[in-house]
Structure 1
Amino acid sequence: MAETLADAYQARLDAGEIRPDAAQARGLEALSRLERDLAAAEAEGGRLKALFRKPEAQRGVYLYGPVGRGKSMLMDLFFETAPVARKRRTHFHVFMGEVHRLIDAFRKGDPVARRARFGRAAKGDDPIPPVAEAVAEEARLLCFDEFQVTDIADAMILGRLFEALTARGVTLVATSNRHPDELYKDGINRQLFLPFIDMLKQRLDVVQVAGHHDYRLDRLRAAGTWFSPNDPDNQRSFERLWTEMLDGEAETGATLEVLGRHVTLPRAAGGLLRAGFSSLCSVALGPNDYIALADRFHTVFLEDVPKLTPNRREEARRFVILIDALYEAKTRLIVLAEAEPIQLYPAGDGAFEFERTASRLQEMRSADWLADRD
């Protein structure tokens, strides 16, 4: 008999990898219900009469809560044990990037190219049905990690896209730091997004996973978050912590769209970002870029931060704006730097103004700051 989600979770408990957690238990219960529903649907689908029926989506699950409470771990276990042949687990932003590329290919393709890419679904001028058909052909179960809507382009198509996926028998599971009611909060034309929120709440069990214990925080507390000087020992420690925080996740990269421009961040995985000082502060980025970055990622690894001098005034200015954005968003920050915060800009024009940033950097490495992230 195949291992169930409950079996896989109990095995982790028995191995001491996790501890009993009432909040996780609620998520486990919802996912186990879905596991049973999917198994029943698969058994029904194996009967001859089911050949003449359209596939039906099952009621999905939406797990939300603070960072580090085990939402992704629960979904990973569920995905591994889910009794579905065609299934896919991906970060939400990666998925939406693919969707936008499919939409673009449909709109720009001639009839021959459309048919080659989308088959019989390539009819009419509306890209959503053929895109949904292409996604449904690949997977009947879609598991999204880090579900978060910050892009108006995503917001405007999500309702119709998910409606079309559900109609084609695709079951949805998602993890998020936000309750559905908080998605795309204060976004442009948010009123047009509200029907999608209602649909999520109607078709997915919304379950909070917000236990008191933050497993990622344990790692940060143990390792520390400020590594200086930038020597081989601290470089190894920084690298080791990044690997631990990834916890097996692949670096898929991310692209932020800001005022019509695209900011490419190659070393990203879900809500984790790793970037060098030069890639964020030695290029023409501004406040809107840093705000978008802080909104997109809950944890930022910033490496190779140098000592700053007046002849690097512009880089120092961008660094100050970046830290302000991360501070206001309560983003967790891990730094590999040439010196301690107060020594990063020790003298010269701009050093006095930098003292406020140094103070914020000191606060952001404190235990209280880490604990108050959510």
Structure 2
Amino acid sequence: MHLPHAPHTAYTTGFYPDEGRDFSVRILLGLCNSGAADAGEIFTTIANLKDGHGQEWFDTWLTLGRRIRSEADASSAAGHRISAAWAYLRAATYLSQAVDAVDGLESDEQRLPVFHEHRDAWEKFVDNGPFRAHRLTIPYEDTTLPGWFLAPEHATAGALRPTLVVINGSDGCVSDQWSSAARGALLRGYNVVLYDGPGQQSMLFDHDVPFRPDWEAVQTPVTAVVLQQEGVDPDRLALYGISQAGYWVPRSLAYEHRYAAAVADPGVVDVSSSWLEHLPKSLRAELEAGEQEKFDRNMAIGMKMSKDTKQQWDWRSRPYGTSGFYETYKAVEQYRITPEIAALIGTPILITSPEQEQFWPGQADKLASLSGDKTEVVEFTAAEGASWHCQPMGRGLTEQRMFDWLDEMLA
């Protein structure tokens, strides 16, 4: 790999010219803070990966994930539970990279089997990790959602503890939730609840259940199950959401009032803005005018001209459960926090606002202005090593600031 800059400047000048691939590496490096990746494994892997060639990217991460999984199995068989746990977690991370890479392949036939490999590695981590854990089955409409309840390993039986419920983003894997919030919560004596919601991971890949904008219809039954668990203090419930869940958190809080505090990482008011940003003016005009047939035809032409654009569209649109370009854009437009919705929020919210936010710039401050004086915006900067969406390489700093705030709010 030959970059037009010195390797030590990669934080500011990039690991790859391709923004998506560069961001993936930043996320992976940030996972090292929580034991979900190892820097040497990442760097030796990308050293042999050039730009482009989706098949090579998929094959390489799949090979790494399977190798680490094999090492985890060997540790487990020899009775080394903790070594096995952390290796299973790293394997889950790398296998998830392979799952994400399927959209760059000629066929998606590998998605489900590799996803199941990833999920199996995660489940092995749950079985062996340094905490107490049990699975949750959460009633949701005519089906159920899978969840995981984690408690500190040495927690006093019967004692009530603060509990952090985590909402995933649009495409992150469940093992990423360990890194974004669960580990930090457990270290501070919290219980943690993780789950797959509609459109997320197993609910999308295995059951084809799509996203929904009215996330209170999800969070309310989740909260009911959380409150049934031993050791949960009903007066010290907190909610955390990462990436697109920066929209789902405030939306949920407008109607679900049992949470004492929440974190939106980052704040999101209008999900559709990141979709509209790169849409040509002519196509935007067709969308606004309701010219569905014309819009779909012109979008289809554009997709044929760029394989990368088509790949990104398939990845971003899949969870919405829509069948056409126009229909998808109209669906995404429903994901907005209006002043009327924001007026219903009574829960204090900490809102992260990273410098160089590439998807929803400026929306953290807008959410704060809409949701009242109980909200607080915390800035993250490039000088702190915590720029870009969700501060991918500043997760230790993010953890410090958000849990200092949560500890005070839940005291």
Q: TM-score, normalised by structure 1?
A: 0.31
Q: Which has the higher contact order (CA 8 A, sep 6+)?
A: 1
Larger radius of gyration: 1
